[in-house]
Each structure stands twice: as C-alpha cells, then as structure tokens.
Homo-oligomer: A and B are copies of this chain.
Amino acid sequence: MSLFSKTCEYALRAVFYIASKTADGSKVGIKEIARNVNSPEHFLGKILQDLSRKGILDSAKGPNGGFFLHPKSLKRPIADIVSAVDGDNVFTGCALGLAHCSERNPCPLHHEFKKIRNNIAKMLTATTIGQFNKELTLGKILLKEV
C-alpha cells in the first residue's frame, strides 16, 4: 500500500502545480494541469472540483478561466488536502485496522506506530502548499515522470 490513495496523490501533485503557476494571480486550465502532473484529465477535474467546493482552491469558468490558489491558501498545510481527500485515517488510524485501538486498548503495533503517525502528521502540517514554488519553477523537483 501507499500512504495516500491515488486520488490524493493526484490532488497533491495538482495543487503543487497550481500553486507554482498561479502565485502571480493567473489561472491554469485542467488540461495543462493534467498534462503536467500525469493524471487522467476528467478524473482530476472531479478531484479539483471537490477541493474547490471545500474551499482549498478556487476556479473560474469561461475564457481565461481555470483553477488558481489565493495567496493565503499557499500558506495552508498539505495536511488539509490529505484530510479533504483521504479523511483522517492517516493521522489517527490503527496500523492493523482496528477501529477501537487506543492507548487503553492497544494493538501489538500501537505504541511504535503512534510515533510514526505523529511524524507523518508533523510533516503534513509543517509543509505548506506553496513552499515548493521556487524549486518547481526551477525544475529542481518534479511532479511527473520524466
């Protein structure tokens, strides 16, 4: 398994792309986004619609329309995207899938896994949507296969 669903992977890649392209106030269309993050266009469209409904990003119809991020949104943690798409399982779920696993009722992996979960949460709340804009523009990091 992977940490995130494929849907969430697409969402994160797309949001990073949108961030790096629209920090200047412009907009970017779904076709371009999909092409640049290697994801199926219409499927990604729905994902972004959903994020748009949830207030994580914005969109405008019509000519010169597209998706974009408000400057304020660039400061948001990517944890917001992950929980919007995948829910909070990655932040709170049991490694063995037990719904009632807890401090009082631990599964075998509980104590060790808690540390890992916390590291994941820390990373996801510490990294922001906009923090890679520069490196993305410079091509130092990638959002699609080369």
Contact = CB atoms under 8 A, between A and B. Distances in A.
Interface of A: 1-6, 8-10, 12-13, 16, 86, 89-90, 93, 95-101, 105-110, 112-113, 115-116, 119-120, 123, 127, 132, 135-136, 141-146
Contact of A145 (B8, B93, B99, B112): B99
How many copies of the polypeptide does the oligomer hold? Answer: 2
Contacts of A143: 96, 98, 107-108
Tell me if A's interface is mostly helix, strand, loop or mixed: loop
B1 A100 contact: no
Interface hub of A9, A90, A96, A113 (most chain B Cβ within 10 A): A96
A108 B129 CA distance: 10
B98 A144 contact: yes
Given A97-B2, A100-B145, A101-B142, A115 B108 contact: no
Contacts of A9: 95-97
